Structure 1
Amino acid sequence: MTSKHWTLVGGAVACLKSTAIAGVASGLSLAVAQAAPQDLAFPGYSGYLNVPSATVLDHGQADVMYSDQALDTRQTSGNDTYGHFNNVAGTFGVFPLVEVGGRLTWDRTQANCYQETCGIRDLSANIKVQAPFIPDNWFTLAAGVQDLGGETDDFESVYVVAGREFGPVEISAGYGDPKTPGRYLDGAFGGVSYRPVPWLNVMAEYDSQDVRLGLGAASPEGLLPWGMQVKGKVLAYDEGDTDNDRHFFSLGLSIPFGNKPSKQRLEPVAADRIEPVGRISQSRNPTDSADPVGRISQRRNPTTSDQNNTGKKSAQNLGQQLVKAGYDRVSVASEGDTLHIQWENNIYTRDERDSVLDVARRAKAAAGVHKNARLTLLNQNIPVVERTVPLQEPHPDGSDEPYAIASGFSKTSLLDRDEREWDFQGSYGPTWKPRITLSPTISSGVATEYGVWDASVGISAEVSASLWTGALASATYNTEIYQTEDFEKGGVFYEDRQRNALIEAEVQQTFKLHPQLYTSFHGGRYAIDWNGGLNETMILSANGHHSLSYLGGSFRHRDDSGFKRNQMLGRYSYYNPDLDAQFDVYGGQFFAEDTGFRLDSRFWFGDYAITLSYKNTDAEFISLGWVIPLTPEKTRQFRYAQVRGDANWNYSVQSRINEDQNLTAFGGAAIVRSANPIQSLYLNRGRLTND
C-alpha cells in the first residue's frame, strides 16, 4: 500500500470521526445500539452487498461464502463491468476487532492463461480493523484494505467507514480509494439495512457507482448443530454507472471456529481468593467427605505410621490408575501431606494442558490423607513444568474442580537432579514403543496462470521411538496418492510434487541445562536429499510468554557432497495466553540460503487455529491457513505401539505479492527443522506457560 493510501486513510478517519460524532449524537435518543449479526458482502469482507460495514466479524467467527458476482477487470477495452464469475471467500475474526480473509475469483477453471484466454483469475487477501475504545452507544469506525499487497490491481482498495445501529436498523457511510478508478468504493459510499426479524435482512446501498437493493437471509440461531448458520444474499436491483439490472447471489456458512468453549484448564487461583484451611475444615462436616480414608482419619486420630502407610497406599493406587489410563513414565510418592506425581503424556496430544487437568482431577479424587499434590509433567523423561494443587479445599467458585496455587518450570535439570524415593513407578507399555503419526500432505497451486487449483496429495507416516532421557529417533516416509495434470511428470509443477521418498530420518538428543534453557542436537537425513546436523537452542522468560531461539544447520547433498547449504536463524517467539495467540519472528539465512525475515502467527480457538504468515527474502509472500487436529482429543495407545493422527495438521494458501505480476512460487524463507522441535515436543507448541 502506498503512502498516498495511508494519508487518505488517516485524513478520512479524522473527517469521518468528527462528522459521525455530530450525526450520531443527535440520534442517541432514538434507540439503544444493538449488535447486529455480521454477514459477508460479495467482495468477501463483512458488510452489505458491495459496501463494507463499520464492524467486523466476532472473535472466533468463521464465514465461508460462494457468490457469482465479480468485477471483470481483465477486459481489453471499455470500463470494468460485473459478470457472473465464481467467487469463494473465507473470512475469520482472528482477534477482537480484527478480521482477515481471502478471496478466490475465477472464470475458466483449467484454462492455461499462457495459451488461451482464461478470463479473470485472482487470489487476494482482505483485512479490516474496527477502532477500539469507542462506546457502543456512540458509533463504530473501521478501516480496511482489499486485495492486500496485490500488483495485478484486480480489486485493490483502501477504505474507512463509520456506522451506527438504531435497534433493527444499521446505517454506514464511508470513503474509499481503489487503485483502479471508476469502480465500487471509489469515493463516498453508504448503506442501510433493516432486520425486521433476526434471520431476515433488507439492504440498500450506494457503492460510489451504483444504487443497489438486496435481501439477506440466515437460518435461525440454534437450528443447526455446532452453532452453524446458513446464510444467503440476493442482489434484487442495480442501477447506476457500472451496470444496470443485474442479479447476483451468495450462499455461505457461518460457524464458531474451533472448540474453545468446551476446553477446560487447571486454573491458577490467587492466594487472596482461597479460604483459610482452618475455616474450611471447621465448616465442613466430616461425614460429607467422599473419601473413606478421610472419614476414618477424622474419627480416630491415626498415628504418624498409620498416616504414612495410608499415604503410600493412596500413592500406589493413584499410580496404577494413571498407568491404566494410558500415561507413561508414571512416578508417585507420598511425603507427609503432599503427593508428588510425575507422568509423561502421550494420549492428550492436541494440548498437554488437558493432561494436566486430568491428572489433577485424579489426584483430587484419590487424595486420602494428603492436602496438596505436586504435579510434574515430563516429556522424553525431562521434567518440564510443575503445578501445586490443593486436594482438600473446594474451588473458590464453589465447584469441586481442582485449581493451582503455584505454577512454574520444573527446577530439575541436567545440572540439578531431583532424586526421590518413589512409592510407585510404572508405564503403559515400554517407553521405547514405536509411535506412528499419520498425516495428509498437500502441495497446491491456487489461482495460478495454469489453473484455479492444482494439487499433489500424499500421506506421510512418521515413526518415532524414545531411546533414553532426552533422546528420540524418528523417520518420516511420504507417498503420493493423487495429482492433477500439472503435477504429473512433464508438468510445470512436477518438481514441487509430493515425493515417494524418505523425507526425514534423524536421531536427536535434548539437554535441559536450566529450568528455562534447552538445547537439542540432531543428525540425519533432511528434506529428502540432504544429510547433515541441526542445533536448536531456546531460552524462555520466567513466565514462558517470550523465548529466544537459535536454529542452525549444515547440510550436504546426498548425491554431491560438494553441494552444501547452511542455515543460520534467530527466532523470537511471543505467546499471549489471554488472546491465545502466538507470534514467531525468524531472521537470518534460511535453508535455500536466501536471507531476510519471516513472521508466522497462530490464533488459537481451542485445538484449532488460523495461521497468517509473511515472508520477505528474495521475494515477498503472504499466506492464510488453518490448523486442524486429525486425532481425537484423547488418543488411545496399545501396549507396544501407538497409531495416531496429526494433532497439528496445517494447510495454507500462499500468494506472492509486490511483484509486477503474480509469478508462481512454492518456496521462500524455507526452514529445515526436526519433525520434533523443542517448542512442539517439550513445550506444547509454545503454549505451556506458567499462568
Structure 2
Amino acid sequence: MDMKPINPFLSTPIAIGACFFSLCCVASSDFAADTSVVDSYSMQAYTGVFNTPTANVIDYGDFGFSYSDNYADRSTLFLNQPGFVTANDMKFGVGLLPNVEVVGRLATRTWDCNHYVEDDCGFRDLSASFKWKIPFIPQKWFSLAVGGQDIAGAAVFSEAYYVSASKEFNFSSFGAVRTSVGLSSSDNTIGYMNGAFGSVEYQPFEYLQVAAEYDANAVNVGVKAFAPDTWLPDGWDAYVSAQLYSSDDARNEREQWFNFGVSIPLGAGAYVGGGSVTGGSAARNDARLKPRQPDARLKPRQPGEVGVETLVSRDDGGSAAEGSAARNYARLKPRQPDGKLKLRGDALKDFAAYLVDYGFESVSVGTRSEELGSGVVVRFENNLFNRDEREAVAVVSDLVLARLGVDAVVELTNFGVVVDSNFVTGTGNEERGTRNYGPVNEKPGDDGLTGLFSGLFGDDDVTWAVNDSGSAHFVPRLILSPALYSLVGTEYGAFDYQLVLSSNLQMSLWDGAVIDIRHLSDTVANSDDFADGSFFKRQYGTQQGIDRRLFHQTFALPYNAFTKFSYGRIYGNSDGLLNESRWASRENTHRVSLLVGDFEDTRVNWAGKKTYHKPKLLKYRYRYQPLNWDIELTAGEYWQGDKGFTLRSLHWFGNTQIGLRYRKTKFDDSDGGEEEDFVAIGFSIPLNFGKSMKSDLGFQVRGIEQWNYYVETNLESEGTANTIKTGFGKEPLLYHNLNQAYFNRDRN
C-alpha cells in the first residue's frame, strides 16, 4: 500500500511543539545566564521572529521603531496572486503599561502616489495592534501572551488574533534558545497566521541570533544582529534582521527581506514601594527626581558649624545640611517642623535677592505666625524649569536648606496665583522635607467666603520681608514652536503635511490676568497636496496670520478649585467667551473640570449664515499614581454641536506623555445625524531646553513645554468606505489652559 508523504508544512508546528515540551521536561535545573535571547520587532506589528509573535512584549516605558521592506498585498497587482511584496512598512510601538505593548503601523507601496489620478499606486494602510503578556504565570514555567494585529477598520490588510507561549532555555557558554508555539486566526488571503505557528530562536552570542519559524503558511529562516551597548546611549537598543529563506516562493516577491529597528527609553519608570514594576529599561530609571546638588557657589553649613553663608541660626543647637530633591518628593505626608528660629537682620532679603539673581521671578520671602506652622515662607514664580515645574520646587527647596537651613514653606505661583506648597524642614536629620499635595489656597479656619477674599486680595497672615521682587508681571514672553497639520495613510499620500512656525506672545498683567496672542507664519515646508490653493490646505491646513488673541483671568477659589475666563478670538474666526473650571482632590487622584463657551464666527458659512459654537463639556480624570497613568472621560456638546464622549488613557514617562483616545459623537438629525467612532494614538513632549533663558533683559524667548501630535483614524465596519472625516469631537482647547499654564501639565 502506498503511503502518502507527510506535508512538511503541517509537520513543522508538530515538531516545534514537540521540541518545546521536550525541552520543558529536560530542563530540570537552572543554567548560567551568560547569554539570553534578545527581543525585537518582527516584520509584523508585534515583537517576535519574522512573521510570528513570541510571548514577550516591548519593555514598559520603551518606545520602539521598526522599518521593514515588505508587506502583505491582498491584490494581484504585483504578483500573480496575493503575497508579500516590496513596500515601506513602519511600526511605532510603546510599552504603555507593564506587560502591554501598543503598536501603530503605516505601510505603503508608494509615498505620494495619488490613487484617484494615478495608476499602480499600490496599497496604503494605517493600522493598530495590541499584545498583552499575561502576568499571572510564573516566569520559570513559560510566558503566555494574547494579541491582535490590524484591529478593526474598514480596510483590513493583515488582521490576525493570536495566543502565543514561549519558553527560554540557557545553556551557559553554548548560548540560549527560545521556543514559541501558538494558535492564530486570520482571514487574509495569503494564509499566514491562520492556524498553528511556531518558532525557534538561538542566541549563540550576545550580538547574534539565528531563527526559524513556521507562520501557518511557510517556513522562514534568517538571522538578527544587535548593536553592542557601548555603541549606543544608555538604555538604547538597535538591531538589523534578515529573512534569508522562505519555503513559499510563489507568495513572496523575493525570498530575502530586511528589517531594522531601535528601542529608546522614554523617561523615568514607575515605582511601587521603592521597587520597579518591570524589568524593562524604564525600570532602570528612577521615577523620582534625582537629587539636585546645591549651587556650586553655596557653602552648605556642616553639622556644628556656623558659616558666613548661613543666614539663620537655631536656638536648639540643630544643624543644617544640603537638601535632597529626591527625598523632598519621595513622601506624601507633610512633616511638621520643629525648633524656634532667630532671624538675622537682612537674611531674608539677601535670600530673596539670591533667588532673583538665580532667575526666579515674583519672589516673596517672609514669616508666618507660629500657630500656622513653618515660620518662613518662600513664594516664587518659575519661568526657568518649564519642562517640569517640580524641578523648580526642588531647586528652591535645596537652596532654602543650603543657604538658610531652617524650616520653611515653599510656595509656587503661576501668573501670580499660588498653585503648589512644599514643606521644607531644616533639622538636619534624615527626613528633611516632604511634598504637600493638599489645597494651596485653603488655610486653617477658613470658611468659603474668607478663603475666597484671601485668595483674591492677598495674604494677611504673612509678614513679607520682601514682596514680589523681580515681578513676573509686564514681562513679554515669546513662545516658539512648530505647528504641524497632517494627514496620514490616505489615498492622496502616505504622509501629507503643512509645517508652520507658531509665535505665541504672552504677558501677565496682574495676578491671574494674561494677554495671549498667537501668530502663524507662512508655510515653512509642505507636501504637494498641501500646496497653496490646494483642497487639503483649505480644508485641513492653516493660513498665515494671527489666529488667537485672548484675555484670560484666573481665580483661585476655596477648596482647591480654580476658574479661568477667556475672552477674544480663537481659530482666527470665532469671537466669544470661554470658561474653564477645575477641582482636584488633595492627592490629585481625582479631577473634575467643566468647559463652557459661547462663540460666533465672524465669517458666514457656505449657506450665507453665521455659525455659532456653544460647547459644554464635563471632564473627570482619575490618576493611578504608581504607574503615572491618567484615565479621563469627557462628555457633552463639542465645538461643532455634535454630542458624545471621549475616553483618554494618558501615560507619563518622565516629561513624555503617550496617549490613546477613543471618541464617539453624533450630530443632531437636523445636522445630518451622523454618528462616528474614532481612535487615535499620539504623544506630548516639551520642545524647549531643560533651563530656559532668564528674563533679566525685560523679556523672555523660549520653547513650548507641551507639543502634541496625534494620528487619528475613523473606525468603520470592514468593507465600508473609510473617508476622511473632520469636525467630530472637537474641543476648544487653548494653549493657556488651567492644566498646562497653572498645574504643570496636570501633574501638580
Scaled by the length of structure 1, the TM-score of the pair is 0.87
Separation in 2, partners of 1:99, 1:290: 56
> Paired residue for 1:563?
611
Note the C-alpha offset of 1:99. 0.9
Note the C-alpha offset of 1:652. 2.1
Q: Is 1:608 matched up with 2:651? A: no
Counterpart amino acid of residue 127 in structure 2: S
Q: More deviation in 559-568 or 43-52?
A: 559-568
How far does the alpha carbon of each residue in 1:10-61 deviate from its partner, in whole angstroms, 9 at most, with x for none? xxxxxxxx99998786355154697643200001211111111101011122
Note the C-alpha offset of 1:476. 0.9
User: Do the aligned partners of residues 287 and 184 (structure 1) sit closer, same or farther apart at CA in structure 2, a change above 3 Å counting?
Assistant: same
> Paired residue for 2:219?
211
Q: Is 1:650 matched up with 2:678? A: no
How far does the alpha carbon of each residue in 1:238-267 deviate from its partner, in whole angstroms, 9 at most, with x for none? 114863671100112222124663775399
> Paired residue for 1:274?
none
Note the C-alpha offset of 1:146. 0.8
> Paired residue for 1:177?
185
Q: Is 1:673 matched up with 2:721? A: no
Separation in 2, partners of 1:20, 1:611: 41
Separation in 2, partners of 1:549, 1:219: 47
Q: Contact 1:71–1:82 at 8 Å: present in 2 too?
A: yes
Among all aligned residue pairs of Structure 1 and Structure 2, give the percentage whose two residues are the same amino acid: 29
Q: Is 1:632 matched up with 2:650? A: no
Q: Contact 2:678–2:715 at 8 Å: present in 1 too?
A: yes
Separation in 2, partners of 1:145, 1:459: 39
Note the C-alpha offset of 1:611. 2.3
> Paired residue for 1:271?
none
Aligned residues: 643
User: Do the aligned partners of residues 143 and 421 (structure 1) sit closer, same or farther apart at CA in structure 2, a change above 3 Å counting?
Assistant: same
Secondary structure at 2:626's aligned position in 1? coil
Secondary structure at 2:729's aligned position in 1? coil
How far does the alpha carbon of each residue in 1:143-172 deviate from its partner, in whole angstroms, 9 at most, with x for none? 111112222111111111111111211111
Separation in 2, partners of 1:33, 1:60: 28
Separation in 2, partners of 1:162, 1:119: 35
Query: Of the candidates 276, 286, 290, which is equivalent to residue 304 of structure 2?
Result: 286
Separation in 2, partners of 1:349, 1:595: 35
User: Do the aligned partners of residues 629 and 358 (structure 1) sit closer, same or farther apart at CA in structure 2, a change above 3 Å counting?
Assistant: same
Secondary structure at 2:87's aligned position in 1? strand
Note the C-alpha offset of 1:601. 3.0
Q: Contact 2:616–2:636 at 8 Å: present in 1 too?
A: yes
Query: Of the candidates 591, 607, 616, which is equivalent to residue 547 of structure 1?
Result: 591
Secondary structure at 1:360's aligned position in 2? helix
Q: Contact 1:598–1:669 at 8 Å: present in 2 too?
A: yes
How far does the alpha carbon of each residue in 1:505-525 deviate from its partner, in whole angstroms, 9 at most, with x for none? 111111221132111111110
Q: Is 1:358 matched up with 2:388? A: no
Q: Contact 1:524–1:533 at 8 Å: present in 2 too?
A: yes
Note the C-alpha offset of 1:289. 8.1
Q: Is 1:517 matched up with 2:561? A: yes
Q: Contact 2:362–2:472 at 8 Å: present in 1 too?
A: no
Q: Contact 1:351–1:684 at 8 Å: present in 2 too?
A: yes
Q: More deviation in 194-203 or 661-670?
A: 661-670
User: Do the aligned partners of residues 669 and 203 (structure 1) sit closer, same or farther apart at CA in structure 2, a change above 3 Å counting?
Assistant: same
Note the C-alpha offset of 1:134. 2.0
Q: Is 1:247 matched up with 2:256? A: yes
The residue correspondences of 1:434-473 to structure 2 (distance < 5 A) are: 434-473=476-515
Separation in 2, partners of 1:215, 1:322: 58
Counterpart amino acid of residue 676 in structure 2: A
Separation in 2, partners of 1:234, 1:300: 66
Note the C-alpha offset of 1:682. 1.5
Note the C-alpha offset of 1:314. 3.0
User: Do the aligned partners of residues 257 and 37 (structure 1) sit closer, same or farther apart at CA in structure 2, a change above 3 Å counting?
Assistant: farther
How far does the alpha carbon of each residue in 1:525-570 deviate from its partner, in whole angstroms, 9 at most, with x for none? 0111101111111121221111111111111111248421211111
Separation in 2, partners of 1:24, 1:540: 54
Q: Contact 1:21–1:138 at 8 Å: present in 2 too?
A: no
Q: Is 1:378 matched up with 2:413? A: yes
User: Do the aligned partners of residues 686 and 44 (structure 1) sit closer, same or farther apart at CA in structure 2, a change above 3 Å counting?
Assistant: same
The residue correspondences of 1:456-535 to structure 2 (distance < 5 A) are: 456-479=498-521, 480-495=523-538, 496-535=540-579
User: Do the aligned partners of residues 439 and 233 (structure 1) sit closer, same or farther apart at CA in structure 2, a change above 3 Å counting?
Assistant: same
What is the Cα-based RMSD across aligned positions, in Å? 2.9
Note the C-alpha offset of 1:83. 1.0
Counterpart amino acid of residue 411 in structure 1: N
Q: Contact 2:310–2:403 at 8 Å: present in 1 too?
A: no
Note the C-alpha offset of 1:491. 2.5
User: Do the aligned partners of residues 20 and 503 (structure 1) sit closer, same or farther apart at CA in structure 2, a change above 3 Å counting?
Assistant: farther
User: Do the aligned partners of residues 300 and 621 (structure 1) sit closer, same or farther apart at CA in structure 2, a change above 3 Å counting?
Assistant: closer
Secondary structure at 2:535's aligned position in 1? coil
The residue correspondences of 1:306-317 to structure 2 (distance < 5 A) are: 308-310=342-344, 313-317=346-350
Note the C-alpha offset of 1:290. 9.4
Separation in 1, partners of 2:205, 2:467: 62
Note the C-alpha offset of 1:475. 1.0
Q: Contact 2:74–2:188 at 8 Å: present in 1 too?
A: no
The residue correspondences of 1:119-518 to structure 2 (distance < 5 A) are: 119-167=122-170, 168-240=176-248, 243=251, 246-258=255-267, 261=285, 264-265=288-289, 286-287=304-305, 308-310=342-344, 313-334=346-367, 338-368=375-405, 370=406, 372-396=407-431, 403-404=433-434, 406-412=436-442, 413-417=451-455, 418-419=459-460, 420-428=462-470, 430-479=472-521, 480-495=523-538, 496-518=540-562
Q: Contact 1:533–1:554 at 8 Å: present in 2 too?
A: yes
User: Do the aligned partners of residues 349 and 247 (structure 1) sit closer, same or farther apart at CA in structure 2, a change above 3 Å counting?
Assistant: same
Note the C-alpha offset of 1:612. 1.9
Separation in 1, partners of 2:26, 2:551: 69
Separation in 2, partners of 1:439, 1:367: 39
Q: Contact 1:258–1:605 at 8 Å: present in 2 too?
A: yes
Note the C-alpha offset of 1:403. 3.0
Query: Of the candidates 110, 118, 121, which is equivalent to residue 118 of structure 1?
Result: 121
Secondary structure at 2:438's aligned position in 1? strand
Secondary structure at 2:396's aligned position in 1? helix
User: Do the aligned partners of residues 683 and 443 (structure 1) sit closer, same or farther apart at CA in structure 2, a change above 3 Å counting?
Assistant: same
User: Do the aligned partners of residues 56 and 263 (structure 1) sit closer, same or farther apart at CA in structure 2, a change above 3 Å counting?
Assistant: closer
Note the C-alpha offset of 1:575. 2.4
Q: Contact 2:439–2:559 at 8 Å: present in 1 too?
A: yes
Separation in 2, partners of 1:490, 1:291: 66
Q: Contact 1:315–1:424 at 8 Å: present in 2 too?
A: yes
Note the C-alpha offset of 1:295. 8.0
Secondary structure at 2:346's aligned position in 1? helix
Separation in 2, partners of 1:484, 1:171: 46
Secondary structure at 1:320's aligned position in 2? helix
Separation in 1, partners of 2:623, 2:478: 29
Q: Contact 1:438–1:459 at 8 Å: present in 2 too?
A: yes
Q: Contact 1:259–1:608 at 8 Å: present in 2 too?
A: no
How far does the alpha carbon of each residue in 1:406-430 deviate from its partner, in whole angstroms, 9 at most, with x for none? 5422134534443211112243355
Separation in 2, partners of 1:232, 1:440: 32
Separation in 1, partners of 2:610, 2:489: 38
Q: Contact 1:613–1:623 at 8 Å: present in 2 too?
A: yes
Separation in 2, partners of 1:365, 1:144: 53
User: Do the aligned partners of residues 348 and 87 (structure 1) sit closer, same or farther apart at CA in structure 2, a change above 3 Å counting?
Assistant: same
Counterpart amino acid of residue 197 in structure 1: F
Secondary structure at 1:122's aligned position in 2? strand
- Give unpaired runs (5+ residues) of structure 1: 1-17, 268-283, 397-401
